[in-house]
Structures are given as C-alpha cells and as structure tokens.
C-alpha cells in the first residue's frame, strides 16, 4: 500500500530537524571548548612523558629494561652479552666506555646521614628541589661493574692508607668516598680526623681514620700537583709566586708512601689563576716569563709521571690519575654569570662541553702516549672520567652550595652535588682497586695498630 505525500512529509521532517540540531555543534569551527580540550589533552600527554621520563631514558642506550619505550633503544650489546669486570673474561673491558642508566636503588647514601661532607656539596639539604641527579648509575657497554661494597673495600684497606692529592674537585671525590665507606659503620664516632680538624675548605690536608679497620682516607690540597713557592731572588716585582714545574708539591713527603694514591689536577691551570694573579712558571732557577699555561701544564704532568716512575714503589702503592672533570657553565663562565641550575637530566646524545675542557684531557693523554711509545710500562691506572662526566650537566651544585639560594650570577657549575657524579668515579675506583688487588700477590706490609 503506497504512502500519501502527507505521510512522507511527516517522516522526512524528523530527519531535517535532527540535521539542524547536529549542525548546531559546529564541529569544524574552532571554539573555546574544543581548543581547551585540545590543550588539556596535550598537557596530559606531556606530563605523562615528563613524569615517566625515567622509562624513556632507559631506552636511550642507558638501559634495556623498558617495555613501554622499547622503540627508543639504540643498538649496543644487551645485558646478557656483558661479562663481569672482575672475572677473567672482563680483563679487556673498557669500563669508561658506556652510558648512564636510571637505577631506583640509588643513591648509595643520603647526605643528611653523612657528617663527613662539606656544606657546599649538600645540594638537597640546601634546597635543590629534584633528586633525579642522584639516580643515575654508570654502566659500561661490554661488562658489568661490581656493586659497591663498602665493607669489602674497608677490609681491603685494612691497615692501609688511601690518599687523594689534588684540587677541590679531588676533595669532592674524597668526601664522596668518605660517605660511601661510612655508610656501613654503625658507630660514626669510630671515624675521626686524626688532628681534630673539621671538614671545611682550607689549605693543607685532612686525614680521616676508620678505627675498626686501622685505615685512613686522606686528602692533600695540591691544586697544581707541582710546587708553588716564592719567586727566586732578584725576580721582577710583578712575580708574586712561581710554579716550579720540575718539583712535586711539598706535601709529597706526607703521602709518598701511601698504599693507594689518587691524583687529579687541571681546574687551576688557566690564565686567571696563574699569570693574571702574578703566578709565573719556573724551571730550575729560571722564571719562564713567556711560557704559555698549556705548555706549563704539559711540563707539570711530565713531572708527575716521572715522580710516579722513580719515587713510588709499585709493589706497595697503587696509583690512579683521575682525568679532568668538565664544567658546564652556560651563557658565561664562573666569573661572568654562567649558569647550570635549570639542568635536571644528563645529555642523551653527544656532550656540549666547550673544547677547552678537552684540552686538559688531551695533554694528559699526550704525555702518557709518549711514555708508552718509548716502551715504558706505565705505573699508574688512568681513571678516565672526562667523557662520562661531560654528559652530566645536571650534577653540579649550581645555586645550591649555600644554605640560602645563591644568586643567579654566582653559580657553581664546577663542583658536584653529593650524592652524585663523584660516587660513580669512586665505583670505578673500587672496581679497578679490586681488579688490581686480585691480580697481584698480597702485600705483606701493614701498619702497626695505633
């Protein structure tokens, strides 16, 4: 039975009314509601990636454990192909070739629980809001480092002396090791400075004794490693001091027979801290008025290596030379308002460290290469932290080296927060220390309990 025109109109009418209502939504026209919804959605996604950046970071060569961000992973050997560094299979592993991995089990200690730390390194206690910088672990590409075991290291140091010799970055590392070792000592009063001196920035030296193990962990301030002294008689008035490039620092008489030595230098080898301040370079009795800082630094490293080869007994003393730890000032230098306080993550790609930082590293390598080319056996282990530290622009004290926030133009992008990057240097020191100790006969020399 056919429908009448009036019946058809009645059926079509609801369709057009529905179409009119649908058009009122104006889906293709911008509106505050649509834009707001879009903005909120983008914010939620960005927050998701920010809050879960740890998983993303794990994919950037730092780790192979992330499931959610597996597509970020760049080549490299998997964990199942890595050998253990302390085993025979790990003998050829370059522990300095690797990347930073996020590790929830870090840090190894808390600054508030360590009384053997200068206030300038207590970034968290001084107000730094993030703790991301404490969560990164150094992972070599082709082997696994041993987990740091403070008790084992103290046992290996029993009746021995470990001494750091160098500048304030060396003190940074020394205090890191004090905190790492003291974390397993219940009675903190059994750890003390033998002369009663406090932890502070001052000239001279500090010797902390772990009474239960009859061992000492020492620091000697020698920013140039070679001797800084008065100018020779008859020198020009503008010469206030000289660096005797062919003589070791006076403190060598105190640390020369230590069982473990860790040298570092570099941060004071610049024009501002030498020639501009009236400190010139001396060889023998002659002041080299025209000698460049770079050439003087090269000559000083030769003196250090000569000293190690001629004065240090390799059967007793294990020697490490830690390479230059880069600074990360942006927009200026330490004296012209350079900053680093906005950095919260490591470099995921290549380092942005200025070229002059690498010149320090190259000088050391040139001196050591010249020795090996002459078929000399190097009597030291290189603690090569330059490249690994160059990626850690996030790890510096920045504005958090004072109890009150430091001014924007007075930031410290040279020293490192603790816990932080120097702990990784000490983990490498620990691994190489154990490797060396296991590779040679036990040393019978020990000190009398005192």
The residue from 176, 396, 415, 423 that is catalytic is 415
Q: What is the C-alpha separation between 448 and 7, in angstroms, rounded? A: 115
448: buried, middle or exposed (CB in 10 Å: 19+, 13-18, 0-12)? exposed
What 3-state class would DSSP assign to 310? helix
Specify whether 415 is catalytic. yes
Q: Structure tokens of 301?
A: 């490293």
Q: Quick check: 419 and 111 in contact, CB under 8 A?
A: yes
Residue whose structure tokens are 């008859």: 234
Specify whether 445 is catalytic. no
Range 368-385 burial, b when 16+ CB lie within 10 A, else e: beebeeeeeeebbbebbb
Q: Quick check: 159 and 215 in contact, CB under 8 A?
A: yes
Q: Closest Cα partner for 323 from 365, 269, 376, 268?
A: 365
The residue from 176, 412, 414, 423 that is catalytic is 412
The residue from 168, 252, 351, 390 that is catalytic is 168
Q: What spatial distance separates the first Cα and last Cα of the chain, rounded to whole Å?
A: 118
Element (H, E) at 436: helix 421-439
Q: What is the C-alpha separation between 210 and 192, in angstroms, rounded? A: 7
Alpha helices in 134-213 (DSSP H): 150-156, 168-182
The number of angstroms, rounded, from the C-alpha of 398 to the middle of its chain's C-alpha atoms is: 14
Q: Structure tokens of 302?
A: 């030769």
What 3-state class would DSSP assign to 157? coil
Q: Quick check: 281 and 288 in contact, CB under 8 A?
A: yes
The maximal CA–CA distance of the chain, rounded, in angstroms, is 129
Report, as residue numbers or ranges, the catalytic residues: 168, 412, 415
């Amino acid at each position: 039975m056919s429908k009448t025109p009036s019946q058809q109109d009645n059926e079509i009418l609801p369709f057009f009314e529905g179409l009119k209502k649908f058009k009122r939504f104006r889906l293709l026209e911008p509106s505050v509601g649509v834009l707001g919804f879009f903005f909120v959605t983008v914010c939620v996604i960005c927050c998701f990636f920010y809050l879960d950046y740890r998983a993303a970071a794990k994919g950037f060569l730092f780790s192979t454990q992330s499931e959610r961000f597996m597509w970020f992973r760049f080549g490299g050997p998997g964990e199942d192909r890595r050998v253990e560094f302390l085993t025979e299979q790990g003998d050829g592993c370059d522990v300095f070739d690797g990347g930073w991995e996020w590790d929830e089990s870090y840090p190894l200690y808390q600054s508030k629980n360590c009384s053997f730390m200068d206030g300038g390194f207590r970034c968290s206690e001084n107000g730094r809001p993030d703790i991301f910088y404490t969560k990164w672990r150094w992972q070599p590409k082709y082997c696994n480092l041993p987990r740091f075991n403070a008790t084992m290291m103290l046992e290996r140091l029993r009746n021995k002396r470990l001494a750091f010799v160098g500048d304030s970055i060396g003190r940074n590392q020394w205090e890191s090791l004090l905190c790492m070792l003291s974390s397993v000592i219940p009675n903190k009063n059994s750890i003390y400075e033998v002369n009663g001196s406090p932890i502070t920035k001052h000239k001279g030296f500090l010797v902390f004794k772990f009474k239960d193990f009859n061992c000492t962990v020492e620091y000697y301030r020698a920013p140039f490693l070679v001797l800084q002294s008065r100018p020779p008689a008859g020198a020009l008035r503008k010469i206030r001091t000289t660096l005797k490039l062919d003589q070791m620092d006076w403190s060598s008489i105190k640390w020369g027979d230590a069982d473990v030595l860790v040298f570092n230098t570099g941060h004071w080898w610049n024009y501002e801290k030498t020639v501009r301040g009236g400190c010139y370079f001396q060889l023998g009795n002659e002041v080299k008025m025209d000698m460049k800082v770079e050439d003087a630094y090269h000559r000083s490293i030769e003196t250090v290596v000569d000293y190690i080869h001629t004065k240090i007994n390799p059967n007793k003393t294990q020697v490490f030379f830690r390479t230059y730890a880069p600074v990360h000032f942006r927009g200026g230098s330490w004296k012209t308002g350079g900053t680093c306080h906005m950095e919260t993550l490591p470099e995921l790609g290549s380092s942005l460290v200025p070229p002059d930082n690498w010149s320090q590293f190259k000088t050391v390598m040139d001196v050591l290469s010249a020795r090996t080319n002459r078929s000399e056996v190097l009597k030291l282990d290189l603690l090569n932290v330059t490249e690994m530290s160059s990626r850690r622009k996030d790890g510096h004290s920045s504005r958090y080296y004072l109890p009150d926030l430091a001014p924007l133009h007075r930031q410290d992008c040279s020293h490192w927060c603790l816990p932080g990057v120097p702990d990784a240097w000490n983990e490498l020191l620990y691994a190489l220390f154990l490797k060396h100790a296991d590779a040679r006969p036990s040393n019978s020399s020990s000190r009398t309990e005192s």
